[in-house]
């Protein structure tokens, strides 16, 4: 049975700008907002938009992401026909290749998409926090009679040169594409979310693959080729919450915005657009008799005996008596021992902060990689990137 639309999530990048956080984990599997991982947002958007067939192109450090997705049950994507599928590069008759670029990742999965004979394909990013109704985006695409549509957001003109920009006329028809131009002609930033007519996309993917000089990239190759050929291309203006969380600062900022839903635009408590996730089975959180918890998210299984202010704590975090956590993001299983101070930082899963240690400060965001130990009395300065455990009393800048 044919599907009207298939979603493809690009989740194969290294996430190198997240440094130690992605040493052992694919970027879409990085924790967010206490209960979630980044990939939960595009998956939940699909389900809430009645898209029930999703492919996830994985490559770098895929094990944790594959385990997390599993059979897709938390997102109601455990289907006999359709559902969610992780799609690593695989050996074919002509040999095997890693995904060489965003377009090549879709090209290598043409047969997967063809299995469902869709009319449309939506391409999504696995490293964004965004609540978006893809059904409304598809309605726009159909009404315009488009062959390609891209979701865009208006950005400040002063910031526009940092983005790929779509120049569009009064009817939203795209007339030009600028990739991070020094002199912008538009402030419509591409969100990296595309809808294609499948027959058109398939043709251009095959032509792109045949070009030995191509970078096999949507922004550098596919979109310019569509423009060159005068295809019907439209810009869909999106005004909701969207953040690219590909850097330490942007990931920390987005987590802090979750604490302020009234002003930030992201409300994880919105019952009309739920974000679904796979959660561990843990007991309720425990708040000790002398603990102080203010303006924070504290997830199941946490045990808080110290002070927690304006922070996001994922499942199973322990904050011992006399410890202080402030403006921080603590992922699953972090332990902060007595007297330690943790401020303006991100601690990856299973980090142990020794007694009296200090991490972060009032400046740039520090971060510590998965499973590392910061020894008793050690100091991790603001902005530090910690890839290896820190010995007792040691200082890391």
Phi and psi torsions of 188, nearest 5°: -95, 100
Query: What tokens were used for 227?
Result: 């423009």
Does 214 carry a binding-site annotation? no
As given in the structure block, the two tokens for residue 317 are 């975090």
Beta bridge pairs of residue 321: none
Nearest of 57, 216, 224, 219 to residue 126 by alpha carbon: 57
Residues 233 and 147: beta-carbon distance below 8 Å: yes
What does the alpha-carbon distance between residue 305 and residue 318 come to, in Å, rounded to a whole number? 8
Q: Is 180 annotated as a binding residue?
A: yes
Whether the Cβ atoms of residue 235 and residue 172 lie closer than 8 Å to each other:
yes
> What is each CA distance from 298 to 62, 211, 252, 310, 378, in whole angstroms?
28, 51, 16, 10, 26
Q: Is residue 368 within 8 Å of residue 389, measured between CB atoms?
A: no
- d(CA 106, CA 83) in angstroms, rounded, equals 17
284: which DSSP letter? P
171 by Cβ neighbours in 10 Å (0-12 / 13-18 / 19+) ranks as exposed
Is residue 241 a known part of a binding site? no
- Residue 293 has a CB neighbour count (10 Å cut-off) of 20
Beta bridge partners of 9: 56, 124
Rounded to 10 degrees, the C-alpha dihedral 336/338/341/347 comes to -10
Q: Which residues are annotated as a binding site?
A: 99, 164, 179-180, 190
Q: Which residues are annotated as a binding site for alpha-D-glucose 1-phosphate?
A: 99, 164, 179-180, 190
């Amino acid at each position: 049975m044919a599907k009207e639309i298939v979603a493809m999530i690009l989740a194969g990048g290294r996430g190198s700008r997240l440094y130690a956080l992605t040493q052992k984990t694919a970027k879409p599997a990085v924790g967010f907002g206490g209960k979630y991982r980044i990939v939960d947002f595009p998956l939940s958007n699909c389900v809430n938009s009645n898209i029930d067939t999703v492919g996830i192109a994985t490559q770098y450090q895929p094990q944790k992401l594959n385990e997390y997705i599993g059979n897709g049950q938390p997102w109601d994507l455990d289907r006999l026909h359709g559902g969610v599928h992780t799609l690593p590069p695989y050996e074919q008759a002509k040999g095997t290749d890693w995904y060489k670029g965003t377009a090549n990742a879709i090209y290598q999965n043409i047969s997967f998409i063809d299995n469902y004979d869709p009319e449309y394909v939506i391409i999504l990013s696995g490293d964004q926090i965004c609540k978006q109704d893809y059904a409304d985006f598809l309605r726009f695409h159909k009404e315009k009679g488009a062959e390609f549509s891209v979701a865009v957001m208006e950005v400040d003109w002063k910031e526009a040169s940092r983005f790929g920009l779509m120049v569009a006329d009064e009817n939203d028809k795209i007339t030009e594409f600028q990739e991070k131009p020094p002199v912008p002609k538009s402030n419509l930033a591409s969100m990296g979310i595309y809808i294609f007519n499948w027959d058109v996309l398939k043709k251009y993917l095959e032509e792109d693959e045949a070009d030995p000089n191509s970078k096999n990239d949507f922004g550098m190759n596919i979109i310019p080729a569509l423009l060159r050929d005068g295809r019907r291309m439209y810009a869909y203006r999106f005004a909701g919450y969207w953040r690219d969380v590909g850097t330490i600062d942007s990931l920390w900022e987005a987590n802090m915005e979750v604490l302020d839903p009234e002003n930030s635009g992201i409300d994880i408590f919105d019952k009309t657009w739920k974000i679904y996730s796979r959660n561990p089975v843990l007991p309720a959180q425990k708040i000790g008799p002398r603990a102080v918890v203010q303006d924070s998210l504290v997830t199941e299984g946490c045990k808080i005996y110290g002070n927690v202010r304006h922070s996001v704590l994922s499942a199973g975090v322990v904050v011992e008596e006399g410890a202080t956590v402030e403006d921080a993001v603590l992922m699953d299983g972090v332990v902060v021992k007595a007297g330690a101070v943790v401020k303006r930082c991100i601690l990856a899963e299973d980090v142990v902060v020794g007694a009296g240690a200090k991490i972060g400060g009032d400046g740039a965001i520090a971060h510590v990689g998965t499973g590392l130990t910061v020894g008793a009395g050690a100091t991790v300065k603001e902005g530090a990137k910690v890839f290896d455990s820190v010995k007792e009393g040691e200082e890391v800048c």
